[in-house]
């Protein structure tokens, strides 16, 4: 029994390095999506102290809008552009109708407001697009199917083209976001707002503009994640779950940290896969991916309450 926990998994890894690579690859694919979603959370939290419970439903809503528009006969890429437009309108509406009247309210009120947004989007989405499962329009968007088979060390490594596309697109999006945040005036304004509201106002930053902007970015992220995840699992309200997988990422990475979101996402994606294959399936009967991330986050929180990358909490006396 002890050998099964402490020794055998490592032997398995060394004996079948190609299989280990396969596991790591699959972990990376989900990890980068977790990272992307977590980034959406972090941007909104930093600039407005709101924990955006609606991020998950935004993924569903974006995917449904895209598929729905296409069902009405809109060409795929135009549907993508229109969906981006819809996400922008959503961002403006949320800022005007929900956030602006609640400025200065306690965080918990704003959090409740995002639950309200969630419920509204569920109802609204169902009325317009119906509640049944749909297929993502992967082929129309030119997302390749099929796979590439590699043979490292005479073994076998299967890379699905869909996964490769997801990794490339998500990586590009993350890189673009980082560049935007670090090297443009608007990006600086977003980061500045996260640090100090008063100072931000005094250098001419408009809260409203930035809020619309971060919610729109969260919308773009939702659309990309919706397409990627929808292409694997179909488009339904169950997609919302992927956003809740970002919660342990946030606990691990800290709600404040952009680096934390990225590293945390990748870490959780990879570790949960490794654990599932080498410990979960042989010892616990599998299906550990649903809870592993949360347990990991709990353990980290025991030792570092601010998360791995969160700002250290220093009490000044």
Partner 1 sequence: MKDTAGYVTADGRQIGGTLMEMRNITLKFGGVTAISDISFDIHEGEIRAIIGPNGAGKSSMLNIISGFYTPTIGEVWYKGEKRPPMKPFEVARMGVARTFQNIALFEGMTVLDNVMTGRLTHMKSSILSQALWYGKAQQEEMENREIVEKVIDFLEIQRIRKTPVGRLPYGLKKRVELARALAAEPSILLLDEPMAGMNVEEKEDMSRFILDVNDEFGTTICLIEHDMGVVMDLSDRVVVMDYGKKIGDGTPQEVRADQAVIDAYLGVPHE
Residue ranges binding partner 1 (CB under 8 A): 176, 179-180, 183-189, 191-192, 194-196, 198-207, 213, 311
Work out how close the CB of 205 gets to partner 1 at its nearest, in angstroms, rounded to a whole number. 6
Which residue's CB is nearer to partner 1, number 4 or number 311?
A: 311
Work out how close the CB of 44 gets to partner 1 at its nearest, in angstroms, rounded to a whole number. 17
Work out how close the CB of 195 gets to partner 1 at its nearest, in angstroms, rounded to a whole number. 4
| Residues 250 and 34 sit within 8 Å (Cβ to Cβ) | no
DSSP for the chain, written as a single string: -HHHHHTHHHHHHHH-HHHHHHHHHHHHHHHHHHHHHHHHHHHHHHHH----TTHHHHHHHHHHHHHHHHHTT--HHHHHHHHHHHHHHHHHHIIIIIIGGGTTS-HHHHHHHHHHHHHHHHHHHHHHH-SS-B---TTTTT---SEEEE-GGGS-EEEEHHHHHHHHHHHHHHHHHHHHHHHSHHHHHHHHHHH-HHHHHHTT--HHHHHHHHHHHHHHHHHHHHHHHHHHH-BSGGGGHHHHHHHHHHHHH-TT-HHHHHHHHHHHHHHHHHHIIIIIIIII-S-THHHHHHHHHHHHHHH-TT-SSSPP-----
Work out how close the CB of 194 gets to partner 1 at its nearest, in angstroms, rounded to a whole number. 7
Which residue's CB is nearer to partner 1, number 41 or number 292?
A: 41
Which residue's CB is nearer to partner 1, number 226 or number 310?
A: 310
Work out how close the CB of 91 gets to partner 1 at its nearest, in angstroms, rounded to a whole number. 12
Work out how close the CB of 181 gets to partner 1 at its nearest, in angstroms, rounded to a whole number. 10
Which residue's CB is nearer to partner 1, number 5 or number 186?
A: 186
CB-based contacts of 158: which residues, under 8 Å, 6+ apart? 22, 147, 148, 149, 150
Which residue's CB is nearer to partner 1, number 95 or number 289?
A: 95
Which residue's CB is nearer to partner 1, number 160 or number 208?
A: 208
CB-based contacts of 240: which residues, under 8 Å, 6+ apart? 56, 57, 59, 60
Work out how close the CB of 182 gets to partner 1 at its nearest, in angstroms, rounded to a whole number. 8
Which residue's CB is nearer to partner 1, number 133 or number 184?
A: 184
Q: 17-48 and 241-253 helices cross at what angle (nearest 10)?
A: 80
Work out how close the CB of 75 gets to partner 1 at its nearest, in angstroms, rounded to a whole number. 23
Which residue's CB is nearer to partner 1, number 72 or number 183?
A: 183
């Amino acid at each position: 029994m002890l050998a099964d926990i402490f020794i055998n998994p490592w032997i398995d890894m060394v004996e079948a390095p190609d299989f280990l690579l396969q596991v790591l690859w699959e972990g990376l694919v989900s990890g980068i999506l977790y990272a992307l979603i977590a980034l959406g959370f972090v941007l909104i939290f930093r600039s407005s102290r709101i924990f955006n419970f609606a991020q998950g439903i935004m993924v569903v809503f974006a995917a449904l809008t895209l598929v729905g528009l296409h069902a009405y006969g809109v060409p795929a890429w135009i549907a993508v552009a229109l969906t981006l437009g819809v996400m922008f309108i959503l961002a403006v509406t949320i800022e005007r109708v929900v956030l602006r009247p609640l400025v200065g309210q306690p965080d918990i009120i704003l959090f409740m407001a995002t639950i309200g947004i969630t419920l509204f989007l569920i109802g609204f989405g169902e009325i317009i697009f119906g509640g049944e499962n749909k297929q993502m329009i992967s082929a129309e968007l030119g997302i390749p199917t099929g796979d590439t088979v590699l043979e490292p060390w005479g073994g076998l490594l299967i890379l699905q083209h869909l996964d490769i596309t997801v990794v490339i697109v998500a990586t590009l999006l993350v890189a673009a976001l980082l560049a935007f945040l670090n090297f443009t005036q608007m990006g600086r304004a977003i980061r500045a707002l996260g640090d100090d509201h008063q100072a931000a106002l005094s250098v001419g930053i408009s809260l409203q503009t930035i809020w619309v902007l971060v919610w729109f970015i969260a919308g773009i992220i939702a659309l990309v994640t919706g397409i990627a995840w929808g292409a694997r699992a179909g488009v339904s309200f169950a997609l919302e779950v992927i956003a809740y997988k970002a919660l342990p990422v946030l606990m691990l990475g800290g709600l404040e940290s952009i680096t934390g979101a990225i590293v945390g996402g990748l870490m959780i994606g990879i570790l949960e896969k490794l654990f599932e294959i080498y410990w979960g399936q042989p010892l616990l009967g599998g299906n550990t991916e649903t809870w592993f991330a949360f347990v990991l986050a709990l353990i980290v929180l025991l030792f570092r309450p601010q998360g791995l990358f969160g700002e250290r909490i220093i009490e000044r006396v």
